Amino acid sequence: MPPVARREHKETTLHGVTLSDDYAWLRDRENPDVTAWLEAENAYADAVTAPLAGLREQLYNEMLSHIKQTDVTVPFRDGDWWYYTRTEEGRQYAIHCRARGPQPTETGPEQIVLDGNQLAEGHAFFAIGATDITDDGRWLAYTTDTRGFRQYTLRIKDLETGETLPGEVERVGSVAWAAHNRDPRQEAFATGEGNRTLFYTIEDEEQKRQYQLWRHALGTPHAQDTLVYQDDDERFNIGIGRTRDGMYLVLESASHITTESWVLPADTPLGEFALIAARENEHEYSIDHRNGFWFIRTNDRGRNFRLAVAPAATPGREHWTELIPHRESVMLEDIDLFAGFFVACEREDGLPRLRVWRFAGDGPEAAQTAGIGFPEPAYDAHPHVNRIFDTRTFRYSYQSLVTPGSVFEYDMATAESALLKQLEIPGGFDRTQYASERIHATAPDGAQIPVSLVYRKDKRETGRNPLYVYGYGSYGYSLPLGFGSSRLSLLDRGVVMAYAHIRGGGDLGKPWHDAGKMLLKPTSFTDFIAAVGHLTASGYGDPRRVAIEGGSAGGLLMGAVANMRPDLFRAVVSHVPFVDVMNTMLDSSLPLTVPEYEEWGDPNQESYFKVMLSYSPYDNLKARSYPAMLVKTSLYDSQVMYWEPAKYVAKLRTLKTDNHPLLLVTNMKAGHGGASGRYDYLKEIALDYAFLLRELGVTDPCPGSEGSNMNTLSS
């Protein structure tokens, strides 16, 4: 029998509405009763899934067989060094390395910069956060998290000796070294050592937002570090970085809808930061520098952004001149700026585009000369690591639902791309066995919702395949359509996999995001329901065998659509789901709540309160039949607190009228992203897939076997 959580009734009244909550006590992580209940839920999930042990092991071994366990990334140049990351069979974490030389094939001995396996020793969770190396290549600043709460500790390592310096700083976000020092007020100027000033940001303890910028002089205690800037607006997070040409430090302060940038010549770290443009509500901009001009991506004349330039000496908005205008159908997502050219990273028709612009001379004038073409109907493409400012080549990554991750180098002189490396997929992968499509579903208001599909050709049977649909639809985030070797275990068993690019995401630019946020948030849910209906009506899947998955804000999507149309879905997998919307958004003391008002709205205002209450999954649970559910969370999740899915499952257990499985699995030693080790992570996916396959009635133990594996549902 499943564990039953005790009830402690609590009421909150606002705008004439009384909200009831019987499980608020689960918020107390230090309460042993909470730990006991979470562990009881884990034990129950283990018992229910025990018959799947063989399938889970098989899935794990299949997924592992498709990973080249000992591998190395394409080296990239930074200064005199070539940097790369390698993995070794049997080891959970990557090893970050470098070698000095003129070419990656002509280098000296390898130097290990950071070995994740050594750093992770003694910790159940481990992640590297920010890293930066001084211009001379000697000093490394890096941050690590050993709990999963995305709270990072800063350390400094001497790469010449391998020694990690004494002293550390907690709760650090971004880091950036100043340039070779020319400031006579600095000791480094007199000694000629340079590269001795580090800037870093830290988060406050309550709101978990980066709000202070500090300056550290190498060789001095951190107690002597200097506070440079503090942002007291709870909506804003700050970050520090360098322009690609290395000439300026950039301090950016950003909320979900507004940004402000300050700059400082990187070789005068004791100077004062200068403002580019003061924050103005709903004005977002980002900057980079070339040859005395700021290149400014801004939404001041339209939601999809334009590109303007301004003299570095007079960067005020009155001096901005336009280089790329705003376009209604094209989102300017970013620019990658170099000495002789820049690449405009755009999104058009829901797909990424990389367009090359060449400079006419030393000034900011440029003309579009080429676009880098991509051959497939659904794909992901973005800049790779490009650290050299004065270069004639540009590296980019490309992958699709059927094409493994690939790194290309585009030559500006020849306008041709050369493949540097494609991820090797062992285990007999043949991409010609798989097909990818891009279709559109019609939403209730007539909008056309893009849906990307992938399936194995010889397993496709119209109207009979089990169907898996993934969705997110928040924060203007565009669903990446990358390759996943673990996905082969579902595709090879005949599962058709679909990715719904619903409103609230950024797949069709900022207006697409705007149409699924704040008061319009329910549009995301009706878009997803329409996509699932269209897929089954078009024969892509059996309507009796539909599984859906989402995480975080995508977990909110799962909870909302399961309440709205539980009859549509056979199974739901929900990762770290944001399902207790009302209680979270009404508690401004929680990390992230106040900044999130710009995505969801402020429930203290009645109009937003009513809309949130209409879809909040926890508040809309009722006595009815629900799909089978696997709900997963982590005890140290800093984004969606563990108690949201815990309360959701506890309440749903008392209401559901069916016998379908309802499982809560809590990783007691991780955070928002789940397990950190690559082997542990595969085991988590194996559980998800085994659960889905059982609920979808797919029992064929041999993915390579001939004939149909379209089995009838078990009772």
DSSP secondary structure string for all residues of 222-276: GGG-EEEEE---TT-EEEEEE-TTSSEEEEEEE-SS-EEEEEEETT-TTS--EEE
Say which CATH architecture domain 436-695 belongs to. 3-Layer(aba) Sandwich (3.40)
Given the residues 452, 485, 552, 638, the one annotated as active site: 552
pLDDT, mean of residues 536-547: 98
221 vs 227: CA distance, rounded Å? 14
**Which residues have a Cβ under 8 Å from the Cβ of 113 and sit 6 or more positions away?**
83, 96, 97, 98, 133, 140, 159
* pLDDT in the model for residue 190: 47
CA distance 322 to 335: 14
- pLDDT computed for residue 192 by the predictor: 42
**What's the CATH code, domain 284-427?**
2.130.10.120
pLDDT for res 686: 97
pLDDT, tens only, 240-249: 999 999 999 9
If you average pLDDT over residues 621-632, what whole number do you get? 98
Closest CA to 388 of 289, 246, 247: 246
Phi, psi of 300 (to 5 degrees): -70, -15
- Please choose, from the candidates 422, 333, 340, the residue with its C-alpha nearest in 3D space to the C-alpha of residue 383: 333
* Whether pLDDT at 715 is above 80: no
For the residues 123-127, what does the mean pLDDT come to?
Answer: 95
The set of residues, in sequence order, having a beta carbon less than 8 Å from that of 210 and lying 6+ positions away, is: 173, 174, 201, 202, 203, 237, 238, 239
Indicate if the pLDDT at residue 685 is higher than 60.
yes
552 is catalytic: yes
Give residue-wise pLDDT tens across range 262-305.
999 999 999 999 999 999 999 999 999 999 999 999 999 999 99
Sign of the alpha-carbon torsion through 600, 605, 607, 610: positive
Q: Which of 192-196, 207-211, 409-413, 634-638 has the lowest mean pLDDT?
A: 192-196
Please report, for the chain, the start and end positions of each structural domain, with discontinuous segments joined by +: 123-282, 284-427, 436-695
pLDDT band at residue 206 using 50, 70 and 90 as cut-offs = confident
Inform me whether the pLDDT recorded for 667 exceeds 60. Answer: yes
* Paired sense of beta strands 571-575 and 628-634, if any: parallel
Give the mean pLDDT of 512-538. 98
Q: Looking at the DSSP assignment, which residues form a beta bridge with residue 265?
A: 248
Residue 334 is among the residues annotated as catalytic for this protein: no
Return the pLDDT at 699: 74
Where is 562: in which H helix or E strand? Answer: helix 553-564
Catalytic one among 66, 289, 501, 672? 672
Homologous superfamily in CATH for domain 123-282: Prolyl oligopeptidase, N-terminal domain (2.130.10.120)
Domains 123-282 and 284-427 belong to one CATH topology:
yes
pLDDT of amino acid 105: 87
Assess whether pLDDT exceeds 60 at residue 163: yes
The mean of the pLDDT values for the chain is: 94
Percent of residues, the chain, with pLDDT higher than 70: 96
pTM reported for the whole predicted model: 0.94
Active-site residue, from 255, 637, 638, 688:
637
| Model pLDDT, residue 205 | 86
Residue 556 predicted with pLDDT over 60: yes
* Spatial separation of the C-alpha atoms in residues 133 and 202, rounded to whole Å: 19
Q: What is the pLDDT of residue 704?
A: 46
